[in-house]
Chains A and B, each alone.
Chain A
Amino acid sequence: MKQTFLRASLGLLLGAATITARPALAADVVELKQPNAAKVVVMLRFQNGSASDPKGKEGLAYLTSQLVTEGGTKELTASQLKDKLYPMAVRYGARTDKEVTTFTFEFHRDFLDQFYPVLKGLMLTPSFTPEDFARLKSNQLNYVEQVIRASSDEDYSKFALEDQLFRGTRYQHMTRGTAAGVQSLTLDDVKKFYAAAYGKNNLTIGLSGNYPESFVQKLKKDMDALPTATVKPDVPKAAAPKGVQVEIVSKPDALGSAVYAGFPIETTRAKDDFAALMVANSFLGEHRKSYGKLYDKIRTARSMNYGDYSYIEWYEAGGNNMLPVPGVPRHANYASIWIRPVQIAEGLRKQYPAELGDLKVGQAPFALRLALREMDGLVKNGMSKEDFELTRTFLRSYTKLYGLTSAKQLGFLLDSKFYGRKDWLQELDGQLAKLTLDDVNKAIKKYWQVQNMYVTIVTDDSEAQPLAEVLKTNTASPMSYAKVVREGLPKEILAEDEQVATYKLNVTNVKVVDTKDTFK
C-alpha cells in the first residue's frame, strides 16, 4: 500500500496544549491512498474531548459530537438525511475520548459525490434541534445513571479506577460525563461548545481509500470554513498516591469481584522508551493472550477467572476488542492491571459446601496479591534474555495486525500525529528491533512499582465488607481451591500460593462505596 503524507500546514503544532490564538490556521491532512479499495474513509480529528468539558458540564463534548452525527444539516432534516443515505449504507459516527474527538465517515466509492454534501453539512451546519438534543441527552444520562452499573462490571471497574486516579482533574469523569453534569446540559451549551471546540486550527483531516485528488482539495477548502477553536483539553499531571488505595464498589447481585489497579506513568508513544515498556507489558500481561504471566498464573494454573492482563496506556473496550483501536490518544498516562471477575465467597460456598462452606472472603485479595507480586518480581529481577527475545519477536509481528483495515491504519496515523510522530506503527518496528534487554529492564525500573497505586473492585454487597477488612488489615488470604483442583496441583504452585497469601500489600486506605454513589 502506498502511503502519502501531505503536511499541508506547518502551523499546527502537535499536542493538546499547543493550540494558539493565531487565526486561520488550515487543517493538516494525512492520506493513505488505496486506489484499488472499494471504500473511502474520511476522519476529522479535533483536539478537544471530555477533558475540555467545562466544570459542571461533564459530558458536554460527548453530547455535542453525538448531536452532530445524529442530527440533520441546514439543507436536510435528520429524517430526510437518513432517507437519502439509506440505500448507500454509509456508516458514520463520532468517538469522543479525553483529548480528541474523531468523526469517521465510511462510504463506498460509488457514493463519493452524493454523500459528500451531507458530510460537509453535518460538520459545518449541523441542525442541533431541541428534539434530537432531548433524546440524546436522555440516552446519555441513562448510560451514566443505569447502564454502566449493570452491564459489564469490567468496564465499570475501569471507569471507577479513572475516577480515583484522576480525581479533581478534568480526566476524572467518564467521557459520557457524570449524572449531575449531563443533567445540567442545555442546547445552548452544545451550540457554544461546537463553535469553540471544533476549529480549523485543531483539526487533522484523515483520508484513506479510493478518491480523486480533487476531493482532498475540496474537503480541505470546505473545512477551512470552520472557526478558530478557543478551548482546549485540560490535561492533568496525575500524581501517584501514597500507598495502595482501594475503593470497593458494592452492588447487589454481582456474581464476582472485578478488579482494576493502576498508577500514573510518564511515558507515552511519543517517547522512545515506550517500546521498551511495551515488551515488558506484553510479557506480564498482553491483552487477551494466554502468554502473559498474569494470565498464566491466575487463569491457566489456578482457574480463578476468564483472564488477566496489564496495560501501559488506555485500551478501549477491552472486553470486546482483541486488538487495540485508534482514536484514544492521551497525554496523561497510567499503567494498569485488569483482573476479570473472580469468584466471591457466596458463590464458592454454594458450589463447594463441603470444603469451602466456611469461606468468608472470595478470591479477589489473593488475585490482587498475585498480580502485584508478579509485577514486583519484574521490577526487582527484570526479564530474562530468552523471554525478552521471544516477546520482542511476538510484538514485531503482532503490531502489524493493529492496522488490518484501512480505517484502523488511518486512525493510527492520526494518533501518530497526536504524539508528534509520523507513523508510529511503522517506526515501532525499528524501535523494537534496536531494543536491548537492558533497555527493557531499565524502563521497568523507571516506570513500574507496586507500592503506590489505586485499586478499584466492583463486587457483590455480601463480599464488600469482608473484602475491605482483609485488605485493610493485610490479613493473609490463602487461595480457596475446590478439592477437585487442589488435588492435582503441582507442589510448586502450592508453594507459591503460600508466598502469595502473605505477600504484603502496602495498603493505606480502603473505602467501600455504594454503587448508587458512583459517577454522580
Chain B
Amino acid sequence: MKHAFRSLGLAASLLTAAAPTTRAQQAAAKGAFPYAIEQSQLPNGLKIVTVPYASPGLASVFLVVRAGSRDEVEAGKTGFAHFFEHVMFRGTEKYSKEQYDEVLKSLGAAANANTSLDRTVYHMTGNARMLDKMLEVEADRFQHLKYSEHDFKTEAGAVKGEYTKNSASLYTQLNEKVADAAFDQHTYEHTTMGFFKDVVDMPNQYAYSKTFFDRFYRPEYTTLLVVGDVKAAEVNQLAQKYFSGWQRGSYVPNMKAEPAQTAPRYVHIQNANFPPFLSLSYKGPAFSDQSKDLPALDVLMTMLFAENSELYQQLVVKEQKVRFVGGAPNMTRDPYLTSIRASVVKADDIPYVKQRIVQALEDAKTKPIDQKKLADTKSALKYGNLMSLDAPDNIANALSEFIWLSGDAQSVNRYYGLYDQVTAADIQAAAQKYFVPEHLTVGTIGPKDTGGVQ
C-alpha cells in the first residue's frame, strides 16, 4: 500500500543524508533475487558484477565504494565521505571538470552520487552502447582525480548549502540528535552530513582530503556493478581495459566498538508549530547473511506496523491519536539503530503512544505469533521486493546494498534465503534480544521544553 511505503520511506530517509533506497522494498522469501548475478574480480581487488536485464538499449553503471560516514574515525573530520563525493566531480588531468561535464552531457545519462553511513555510490543510467565511454571516464576519475585547493574550498560552500537545505526539516534535526545521543564511541554518532562545526571547517581540510582519497578510492574498496542490456564478457573486458592499472591500497579504519548502553536516553526539540513526533530507537544488529536476527526483526516490524496491524488500526484508524506510525530495522555494517517513528496528533498523547508501542514490542517477546500472519508477512515482503525490481537502476540500487554491506553481491541470495527459515520462535528471540529498555534512545518534537516521556 502506497501510504505504508511512503511513511516507511520517510522513516528510512531520516537515517541517511541521501539514502535512495527504503528498507520497505527489500526482502523476499525464496528464489530470492530474480536475476542472474555474474561476478569476477581483477587482480588488484576490484570486483565486477554484471546483471543482464531486458532493458533494450539501456544500462545502469554503479560504482560502490565501501566508505561512508562510518569510516570517518578522526575527530573534526565528520561529513568527509559525503564531501568527498562532491569533490569527485571536480575533474582529472585528462578531463577537467568542464570536459567531464561535456562527456556526461554527450552520453545523455542520468548520473549522480550519494553517500550514506556505510558507503558512497556513484551511478549512471544511460545508453548501453556507450558503456565503453562511461567506464572510461569513471575509471579515470577514480584513479586520477585532480583538483586544486581553490576548487576544494569552493566545493565546501556547496556542501554547506546542502546542509542548509536539509536543516529546514525538523526530522533531519531530530535524526542528528538521536544519533549523537545513542552513540558515544562509534562513528554512527554523527549523521552522513557530519557535525555542523565540521561542515563549517571543511574549506580548511585540503590536505586531509588527499589522505581520504588515498585511503578509500582503491580497488579493494570498490565494486563495479552493471545492470541492463549488457553481457558480462563485455563488462569484464572493459573493466580490465580501464581499471587494471589501479593500485591496491592498504588502509583499514580502526573502528571503535560501542559499549553496551545501560540506560534509556532522551533528546527533544521544542517547536510549537510542527506536528508532535516520537521516535524510539533501539540498538539493533549488524547486517549478516548468516544470522536470522535481521530477517526476524524485519518480519516482526512489518507485522507490527503494517496498516492491518492491531497497533496501526488502534492508534491511527480508531483512536486517531497518530497520523502515521512505522518502523523497520536498518541494514548496516556495524550495529546501528532499529527505529520506530510516530507522528502524533496531540503532544499530550506522546506518553500514551510511547506506552502502546512499547507494550506491542513487549508482547512480541512472549505472545505466540499467528502462523497465518507470519506466512502473509513473508508473502508481503517477497512480493513487495519482486515488484520493485522492474528497471535497471532499481535493480542496481537493490543489489548495491548487499555489495556495500558484505562486499559480495551473492549475499543478496543468502540473506533473502534466511527469510524462509524465520520461525515464530526466532521472532520472539529477536524481540527479546533487541527491544531492551536500557538500549533505547527516545526522540521527541513537541511544544513544551521536554517530550514528557522521561
A contact set with B: CB distance below 8 Å? 1, 36-39, 69-70, 78-79, 82-83, 85-93, 106-108, 110-111, 131-132, 134-135, 138-139, 142, 146-147, 149-154, 254-256, 258, 288-291, 299-306, 319, 322-323, 340-343, 347, 351, 390-391, 393-398, 400-401, 404-406, 482, 484-485, 487-489
In angstroms, how far is the closest chain B Cβ from the Cβ of A86? 5
B: residues with CB less than 8 A from A are 1-3, 5, 34, 54-58, 89, 97, 101-102, 104-110, 112, 125-127, 148-151, 153-158, 160-165, 167-171, 200, 203-204, 271, 273-275, 306-308, 313, 316-318, 320, 323, 345, 375-377, 379-384, 386-387, 390-394
Q: Which residues from A are CB-within-8-Å of B382?
A: 89
Task: Give min CB distance, B318 to chain A, whole Å.
Answer: 8
Contacts of B317 in A (CB 8 A): 78-79, 131-132, 135
User: What's the Cα separation between A323 and B104 when bound, in Å?
Assistant: 16
CB atoms of A36 and B169 under 8 A apart = no
A-B contact pairs, 18 of them (CB 8 A): A37-B390, A39-B390, A79-B308, A86-B307, A87-B376, A87-B383, A92-B1, A106-B387, A149-B273, A151-B169, A153-B165, A290-B89, A290-B104, A291-B105, A397-B109, A397-B126, A404-B393, A488-B150
B interface: dominant SS: helix
In the complex, besides A92-B2, A404-B392, 11 extra interface pairs with C-beta distance below 8 angstroms are A85-B1, A152-B169, A154-B168, A256-B165, A288-B112, A291-B101, A305-B158, A306-B158, A343-B160, A404-B393, A488-B153
A299 touches B161 (CB 8 A): yes
- Chain B residues lying within 8 Å of A132, measured Cβ to Cβ, are 317
Contact B384 A89 (CB under 8 A): yes
Is A391 a contact partner of B390 (Cβ separation < 8 A)? Answer: no
Query: In this complex, what residue of B is CB-closest to A320?
Result: B13
Task: Determine the distance from Cα of A344 to Cα of B164 in the docked complex, in whole angstroms.
Answer: 10
* Residue on A nearest B1 in the bound complex, by CB: A91
Nearest CB to that of B90 among chain A residues?
A: A300
Chain A positions within 8 Å of B169 at CB level? 150-152
A150 & B271 in contact (Cβ 8 Å cutoff): yes
B57 (CB) vs chain A CBs: closest residue: A400
A228 to B142, CA, bound (A): 60
Contacts of B110 in A (CB 8 A): 322-323, 398, 401
Q: Which residues of A contact B167 (CB under 8 A)?
A: 255
Looking at B150, B161, B275, B318, the one whose CB has the most chain A CB atoms below 10 A away is B161
Q: Does B155 contact A154, Cβ atoms closer than 8 Å?
A: no
Pairs A-B, 10 closest by C-beta atoms? A397-B108, A488-B150, A303-B157, A93-B2, A305-B161, A89-B383, A87-B379, A89-B384, A82-B308, A87-B376
Question: In the bound complex, what is the Cα–Cα distance between A305 and B2 (angstroms)?
Answer: 33
Of B57, B275, B318, B387, the residue contacting A89 (CB under 8 A) is B387
Distance in angstroms between the alpha carbons of A78 and B109 in the assembled complex: 43
A-B contacts counted at CB < 8 A amount to 223
Query: Per a CB cutoff under 8 Å, which of B55, B345, B391 touches A138?
Result: B345
Residue of A nearest to B110 (CB): A401
Query: Do B1 and A299 touch (CB < 8 A)?
Result: no
CA distance A395 to B101 in the complex (A): 14
A149 and B170 alpha carbons, distance in the complex (Å)? 11
A151 and B308 within 8 A (CB) = no
Q: Are B158 and A86 in touch, CB under 8 angstroms? A: no
Most buried by B among A36, A151, A489: A151
Q: Are B105 and A394 in contact (CB under 8 A)?
A: yes
Contact call B153/A142, Cβ cutoff below 8 A:
no
Q: How far is the CB of A87 from chain B (nearest CB, A)?
A: 4
A342 and B1 contact, CB distance less than 8 A: no
A406 touches B384 (CB 8 A): no
Write the chain B residue with the least CB distance to A36.
Answer: B54
Q: Is there an interface contact between B127 and A151, defined as CB atoms closer than 8 Å?
A: no
Given A79-B313, A138-B345, answer yes or no on A341-B203 (Cβ-Cβ < 8 Å). Answer: no
A400 to B56, CA, bound (A): 11
| Contacting residues, chain B, for A489 (C-beta < 8 A) | 150
Residue of B nearest to A1 (CB): B56
**CA of A485 to CA of B204 in the docked complex: distance in angstroms?**
11
Q: Which of A150, A302, A322 meets B154, CB within 8 Å?
A: A302
Smallest CB–CB gap between A230 and chain B, Å?
Answer: 29
Distance from B82 Cβ to chain A, minimum over Cβ atoms (Å): 12
Nearest Cβ distance between residue A409 and chain B, in whole angstroms? 10
Select one of A256, A306, A351, A394 contacting B106, CB under 8 A. Answer: A394
Q: Which residue in A39, A303, A322, A404 is a CB contact (below 8 Å) of B158?
A: A303
CB closest residue in chain B, given A389: B106
Contact present for A303 and B89 (CB under 8 Å) = no
| Cβ–Cβ contact A135 & B316, under 8 A | yes
Given A150-B170, A396-B108, is A87 in contact with B375 using a C-beta cutoff of 8 Å? yes
Is the beta-carbon distance between A488 and B379 smaller than 8 angstroms? no
Cross-chain contact B105 with A390 (CB below 8 angstroms): yes
In the assembled complex, which residues on chain A have CB atoms less than 8 Å from the CB atom of B381? 89
In the bound complex, CA of A393 to CA of B108 (Å): 7
Cβ B54 vs Cβ A88 within 8 A: no
User: Chain B contacts of A482 at CB under 8 A?
Assistant: 157, 203
Nearest B residue (CB) for A92: B2
Closest A residue, CB atoms, query B56: A1
- Is the Cβ of A342 less than 8 Å from the Cβ of B54? no
Q: Is the CB of A108 within 8 A of B383?
A: yes
Residue of B nearest to A301 (CB): B154
B residues less than 8 Å from A319 (CB atoms): 165
Determine whether the beta carbon of A485 is less than 8 Å from that of B161.
Answer: no
Cα separation A290 to B391 with both chains bound (whole Å)? 24
Assess whether B161 is in contact with A406, with CB atoms less than 8 Å apart. Answer: no
Q: How far is the CB of A120 from chain B (nearest CB, A)?
A: 17
Cβ contacts under 8 Å, B162 to chain A: 306
Q: What is the CA–CA distance of A135 and B325 in the complex, to the nearest angstrom?
A: 14
Cβ contact of A82, chosen from B1, B55, B56, B274, cutoff 8 A: B1
The complex places the Cα of A488 from the Cα of B148 at a distance, in Å, of 9
Is A405 a contact partner of B391 (Cβ separation < 8 A)? yes
Q: How far is the CA of A299 from the CA of B161 in the complex (A)?
A: 9
Given A38-B390, A152-B169, A341-B164, also A88-B380 (CB < 8 A): yes
CB distance from B251 to the nearest CB of A (A): 28
Once bound together, how far apart are the Cα atoms of A268 and B177, in whole Å? Answer: 46
Distance in angstroms from A487 CB to nearest chain B CB is 7
